[in-house]
Amino acid sequence: MRRPIIAGNWKMNKTPSETIKLISELKPLVAGANAQVVVCPTSVCLFAAKGAAEGSNIAIGAQNVFFEDAGAYTGEISCDSLLELGVEFVIIGHSERRQYFAETDETVNKKVLKALQKGLKPIICVGEHLKEKEHGITNEIVRMQTKLALEGVLANDIENIVIAYEPVWAIGTGLTATSQEANNTIREIRKAVGELYGERAEDIRIQYGGSMNAGNASELMGMSDIDGGLIGGASLKAADFAKVVNY
Ligand SMILES: O=C[C@H](O)COP(=O)(O)O
Protein backbone atom coordinates (compact mmCIF):
# COMPACT_ATOMS: atom_id res chain seq x y z
CA MET A 1 0.00 0.00 0.00
CA ARG A 2 1.52 3.31 -1.09
CA ARG A 3 1.17 6.16 1.40
CA PRO A 4 -0.01 9.34 -0.37
CA ILE A 5 2.45 12.22 -0.42
CA ILE A 6 1.37 15.82 -0.84
CA ALA A 7 4.21 18.28 -1.39
CA GLY A 8 4.06 22.05 -1.68
CA ASN A 9 6.53 23.52 -4.15
CA TRP A 10 6.73 27.15 -3.11
CA LYS A 11 8.96 28.01 -6.09
CA MET A 12 10.57 31.47 -5.68
CA ASN A 13 8.04 32.68 -3.11
CA LYS A 14 8.27 33.49 0.62
CA THR A 15 11.13 35.01 2.58
CA PRO A 16 12.54 33.32 5.70
CA SER A 17 10.15 35.18 8.01
CA GLU A 18 7.20 34.41 5.72
CA THR A 19 8.33 30.78 5.68
CA ILE A 20 8.16 30.58 9.46
CA LYS A 21 4.71 32.20 9.45
CA LEU A 22 3.28 29.88 6.79
CA ILE A 23 4.61 26.71 8.41
CA SER A 24 3.39 27.83 11.84
CA GLU A 25 -0.09 28.35 10.40
CA LEU A 26 0.04 25.05 8.56
CA LYS A 27 1.15 22.85 11.46
CA PRO A 28 -2.18 22.57 13.32
CA LEU A 29 -4.16 22.34 10.07
CA VAL A 30 -2.32 19.25 8.79
CA ALA A 31 -1.52 17.57 12.10
CA GLY A 32 -4.02 14.75 11.54
CA ALA A 33 -3.28 14.14 7.87
CA ASN A 34 -3.11 10.62 6.50
CA ALA A 35 -0.86 11.76 3.68
CA GLN A 36 2.82 12.47 4.13
CA VAL A 37 3.20 16.27 4.08
CA VAL A 38 6.21 18.02 2.55
CA VAL A 39 6.95 21.69 1.96
CA CYS A 40 9.69 22.84 -0.40
CA PRO A 41 10.73 26.45 0.18
CA THR A 42 13.65 28.19 -1.53
CA SER A 43 17.10 27.07 -0.43
CA VAL A 44 17.74 30.15 1.68
CA CYS A 45 14.55 29.45 3.64
CA LEU A 46 15.29 25.78 4.41
CA PHE A 47 16.94 26.47 7.77
CA ALA A 48 14.00 28.59 8.90
CA ALA A 49 11.58 25.99 7.56
CA LYS A 50 13.18 23.13 9.44
CA GLY A 51 13.09 25.09 12.68
CA ALA A 52 9.46 26.08 12.18
CA ALA A 53 8.42 22.51 11.36
CA GLU A 54 10.09 21.05 14.45
CA GLY A 55 7.84 18.63 16.31
CA SER A 56 5.31 18.45 13.47
CA ASN A 57 4.50 15.96 10.72
CA ILE A 58 5.79 18.35 8.03
CA ALA A 59 8.91 17.19 6.20
CA ILE A 60 11.14 19.60 4.33
CA GLY A 61 12.18 19.38 0.70
CA ALA A 62 14.53 21.45 -1.45
CA GLN A 63 13.75 22.56 -4.99
CA ASN A 64 17.10 21.63 -6.51
CA VAL A 65 20.53 20.18 -5.71
CA PHE A 66 23.82 19.76 -7.56
CA PHE A 67 25.32 16.42 -8.60
CA GLU A 68 28.87 16.98 -7.35
CA ASP A 69 29.88 16.61 -3.70
CA ALA A 70 31.65 19.98 -3.40
CA GLY A 71 34.01 22.24 -5.33
CA ALA A 72 34.15 25.18 -7.71
CA TYR A 73 30.45 25.32 -8.70
CA THR A 74 29.43 28.87 -7.88
CA GLY A 75 25.84 29.19 -6.84
CA GLU A 76 25.15 25.49 -6.50
CA ILE A 77 24.07 23.57 -3.39
CA SER A 78 25.34 20.18 -2.25
CA CYS A 79 23.44 17.21 -0.88
CA ASP A 80 25.53 17.36 2.29
CA SER A 81 24.43 20.92 2.98
CA LEU A 82 20.79 19.99 2.50
CA LEU A 83 21.15 16.97 4.77
CA GLU A 84 22.80 19.05 7.48
CA LEU A 85 19.78 21.36 7.41
CA GLY A 86 17.46 18.40 7.96
CA VAL A 87 16.13 18.29 4.41
CA GLU A 88 14.59 14.94 3.45
CA PHE A 89 13.28 15.41 -0.11
CA VAL A 90 14.56 17.21 -3.19
CA ILE A 91 12.63 18.14 -6.31
CA ILE A 92 14.68 17.25 -9.39
CA GLY A 93 13.97 18.16 -13.00
CA HIS A 94 11.02 20.49 -12.50
CA SER A 95 9.91 21.81 -15.90
CA GLU A 96 10.80 25.35 -14.82
CA ARG A 97 14.37 24.22 -14.21
CA ARG A 98 14.39 22.42 -17.55
CA GLN A 99 13.00 25.57 -19.25
CA TYR A 100 14.97 28.38 -17.55
CA PHE A 101 18.08 26.71 -16.16
CA ALA A 102 19.08 24.25 -18.87
CA GLU A 103 18.26 21.14 -16.85
CA THR A 104 18.42 18.09 -19.14
CA ASP A 105 17.51 14.43 -18.79
CA GLU A 106 21.22 13.81 -18.26
CA THR A 107 21.65 16.30 -15.40
CA VAL A 108 18.38 15.08 -13.88
CA ASN A 109 19.79 11.55 -13.85
CA LYS A 110 23.10 12.68 -12.30
CA LYS A 111 21.23 14.56 -9.58
CA VAL A 112 18.94 11.61 -8.87
CA LEU A 113 21.93 9.28 -8.47
CA LYS A 114 23.79 11.70 -6.21
CA ALA A 115 20.72 12.40 -4.07
CA LEU A 116 20.09 8.69 -3.55
CA GLN A 117 23.74 7.99 -2.81
CA LYS A 118 23.66 10.67 -0.12
CA GLY A 119 20.30 9.67 1.37
CA LEU A 120 18.00 12.37 -0.01
CA LYS A 121 14.68 11.32 -1.54
CA PRO A 122 14.23 12.68 -5.05
CA ILE A 123 10.90 13.93 -6.35
CA ILE A 124 11.52 13.54 -10.08
CA CYS A 125 9.37 15.70 -12.35
CA VAL A 126 8.29 14.54 -15.78
CA GLY A 127 5.64 15.87 -18.14
CA GLU A 128 4.82 16.85 -21.67
CA HIS A 129 4.52 20.29 -23.29
CA LEU A 130 1.29 21.33 -24.98
CA LYS A 131 2.67 20.69 -28.47
CA GLU A 132 3.69 17.18 -27.45
CA LYS A 133 0.22 16.55 -26.05
CA GLU A 134 -1.32 17.84 -29.30
CA HIS A 135 0.88 15.44 -31.28
CA GLY A 136 -0.39 12.58 -29.12
CA ILE A 137 3.08 11.73 -27.80
CA THR A 138 2.52 12.31 -24.08
CA ASN A 139 3.24 8.68 -23.22
CA GLU A 140 6.44 8.61 -25.26
CA ILE A 141 7.69 11.79 -23.55
CA VAL A 142 6.99 10.69 -19.98
CA ARG A 143 8.31 7.18 -20.61
CA MET A 144 11.54 8.61 -22.02
CA GLN A 145 12.00 11.14 -19.20
CA THR A 146 11.27 8.47 -16.58
CA LYS A 147 13.65 5.87 -17.96
CA LEU A 148 16.47 8.38 -18.50
CA ALA A 149 16.03 9.80 -14.98
CA LEU A 150 16.27 6.31 -13.49
CA GLU A 151 19.31 5.12 -15.43
CA GLY A 152 21.67 3.37 -13.00
CA VAL A 153 19.23 3.53 -10.07
CA LEU A 154 19.16 0.29 -8.08
CA ALA A 155 15.91 -1.56 -7.47
CA ASN A 156 16.31 -1.13 -3.70
CA ASP A 157 16.16 2.64 -4.11
CA ILE A 158 12.81 2.65 -5.87
CA GLU A 159 10.89 3.03 -2.61
CA ASN A 160 12.90 6.20 -1.85
CA ILE A 161 11.85 7.86 -5.09
CA VAL A 162 8.76 9.88 -5.86
CA ILE A 163 7.82 10.78 -9.43
CA ALA A 164 5.68 13.84 -10.13
CA TYR A 165 3.75 13.82 -13.39
CA GLU A 166 3.28 17.47 -14.29
CA PRO A 167 1.86 18.26 -17.72
CA VAL A 168 3.71 21.50 -18.46
CA TRP A 169 0.60 23.10 -20.00
CA ALA A 170 -1.24 22.64 -16.68
CA ILE A 171 1.33 24.35 -14.46
CA GLY A 172 0.11 27.65 -13.07
CA THR A 173 -2.47 27.97 -15.84
CA GLY A 174 -5.61 26.86 -14.05
CA LEU A 175 -5.87 24.03 -16.60
CA THR A 176 -5.69 20.52 -15.21
CA ALA A 177 -5.50 17.19 -16.89
CA THR A 178 -8.78 15.37 -16.29
CA SER A 179 -8.45 12.90 -13.47
CA GLN A 180 -8.79 10.08 -16.02
CA GLU A 181 -6.08 11.55 -18.29
CA ALA A 182 -3.75 12.07 -15.33
CA ASN A 183 -4.37 8.55 -14.08
CA ASN A 184 -3.76 7.02 -17.52
CA THR A 185 -0.46 8.85 -17.95
CA ILE A 186 0.63 7.97 -14.44
CA ARG A 187 -0.19 4.34 -15.15
CA GLU A 188 2.01 4.59 -18.22
CA ILE A 189 4.84 5.99 -16.09
CA ARG A 190 4.41 3.10 -13.65
CA LYS A 191 4.52 0.69 -16.60
CA ALA A 192 7.83 2.23 -17.71
CA VAL A 193 9.20 1.82 -14.17
CA GLY A 194 7.95 -1.79 -14.26
CA GLU A 195 9.89 -2.45 -17.45
CA LEU A 196 13.03 -1.55 -15.48
CA TYR A 197 12.23 -2.91 -12.02
CA GLY A 198 9.39 -5.41 -12.39
CA GLU A 199 6.93 -5.50 -9.51
CA ARG A 200 8.93 -2.89 -7.56
CA ALA A 201 7.04 -0.40 -9.72
CA GLU A 202 4.07 -0.98 -7.45
CA ASP A 203 6.06 0.61 -4.59
CA ILE A 204 6.93 3.88 -6.30
CA ARG A 205 4.74 6.84 -5.47
CA ILE A 206 3.65 8.94 -8.42
CA GLN A 207 2.12 12.35 -7.84
CA TYR A 208 0.08 14.57 -10.11
CA GLY A 209 0.99 18.26 -10.37
CA GLY A 210 -0.50 21.12 -12.37
CA SER A 211 -3.16 23.46 -10.98
CA MET A 212 -4.11 20.93 -8.31
CA ASN A 213 -6.11 22.65 -5.58
CA ALA A 214 -8.79 22.25 -2.92
CA GLY A 215 -11.47 21.93 -5.58
CA ASN A 216 -10.00 19.05 -7.57
CA ALA A 217 -7.74 17.27 -5.06
CA SER A 218 -10.23 14.67 -3.85
CA GLU A 219 -11.19 13.61 -7.37
CA LEU A 220 -7.54 13.32 -8.45
CA MET A 221 -6.57 11.52 -5.25
CA GLY A 222 -9.44 9.09 -5.74
CA MET A 223 -7.83 7.67 -8.88
CA SER A 224 -6.17 4.26 -8.72
CA ASP A 225 -2.62 5.27 -9.67
CA ILE A 226 -2.36 8.82 -8.32
CA ASP A 227 -0.42 8.71 -5.04
CA GLY A 228 -0.23 12.38 -4.21
CA GLY A 229 0.24 15.87 -5.51
CA LEU A 230 2.97 18.40 -6.16
CA ILE A 231 1.24 21.67 -5.48
CA GLY A 232 2.43 25.10 -6.59
CA GLY A 233 0.09 28.08 -6.25
CA ALA A 234 -2.30 26.37 -3.85
CA SER A 235 0.52 25.61 -1.41
CA LEU A 236 1.24 29.27 -0.66
CA LYS A 237 -1.68 29.80 1.75
CA ALA A 238 -2.01 27.54 4.78
CA ALA A 239 -5.79 27.09 4.52
CA ASP A 240 -5.64 26.23 0.80
CA PHE A 241 -2.78 23.77 1.16
CA ALA A 242 -4.37 22.16 4.21
CA LYS A 243 -7.52 21.48 2.20
CA VAL A 244 -5.46 19.66 -0.42
CA VAL A 245 -3.54 17.72 2.23
CA ASN A 246 -6.78 16.70 3.95
CA TYR A 247 -8.51 16.02 0.59
O1 LIG B 1 5.57 22.04 -8.69
C2 LIG B 1 4.40 22.37 -8.80
C3 LIG B 1 3.81 22.51 -10.08
O4 LIG B 1 4.62 23.17 -10.99
C5 LIG B 1 2.36 22.93 -10.10
O6 LIG B 1 2.22 24.31 -9.97
P7 LIG B 1 0.73 24.89 -9.87
O8 LIG B 1 0.03 24.10 -8.82
O9 LIG B 1 0.90 26.33 -9.53
O10 LIG B 1 0.11 24.68 -11.22
Q: Which residues are annotated as a binding site?
A: 9-11, 172, 211, 232-233
- The catalytic residues are 94, 166
CA of 233 to the centre of ligand 1 (A): 6
Q: Which residue minimizes the CA distance to atom 3 of ligand 1?
A: 232
Whether 234 contacts 214, CB under 8 Å: yes
Atom of ligand 1 nearest to the CA of 96: 4
Q: Work out the average pLDDT over 117-121.
A: 98
Q: How far apart are CA 57 and CA 74, in angstroms?
A: 34
Q: Work out the average pLDDT over 80-100.
A: 98
pLDDT at 77 exceeding the cut of 90? yes
The domain that holds 80 is classified in CATH as 3.20.20.70
Amino acid 56: pLDDT = 98
Q: Work out the average pLDDT over 159-180.
A: 93
Whether 164 contacts 125, CB under 8 Å: yes
Atom of ligand 1 nearest to the CA of 231: 8
Q: Find out whether the beta carbon of 9 lies less than 6 Å from any atom of ligand 1.
A: yes
Q: How far apart are CA 155 and CA 1, in angstroms?
A: 18
ipTM: 0.99
- For residue 116, count other CB atoms closer than 10 A to its CB: 20
Amino acid 175: pLDDT = 83
Burial class of residue 122 in the structure, from the number of CB atoms within 10 Å of its CB (0-12 exposed, 13-18 middle, 19+ buried): buried
Q: What percent of the chain has pLDDT over 70?
A: 100
Q: Which residue minimizes the CA distance to atom 7 of ligand 1?
A: 232
Q: How far apart are CA 180 and CA 170, in angstroms?
A: 15
Whether 98 contacts 124, CB under 8 Å: no
What is the total count of domains within the chain?
1
Q: Work out the average pLDDT over 221-234.
A: 97
The confidence band for 174, taking pLDDT boundaries of 50, 70 and 90, is confident
pLDDT at 172 exceeding the cut of 90? no
Which domain does 198 fall in, by range? 5-246
Q: Find out whether the beta carbon of 142 lies less than 6 Å from any atom of ligand 1.
A: no
Q: Work out the average pLDDT over 66-85.
A: 98
The amino acid at 49: A
Q: Calculate the average pLDDT of the chain.
A: 97
The confidence band for 5, taking pLDDT boundaries of 50, 70 and 90, is very high
pLDDT at 122 exceeding the cut of 90? yes
Amino acid 188: pLDDT = 98
Amino acid 176: pLDDT = 82
206 torsion bin: left (phi>0), alpha (psi -120 to 50), beta (else): beta
The confidence band for 239, taking pLDDT boundaries of 50, 70 and 90, is very high
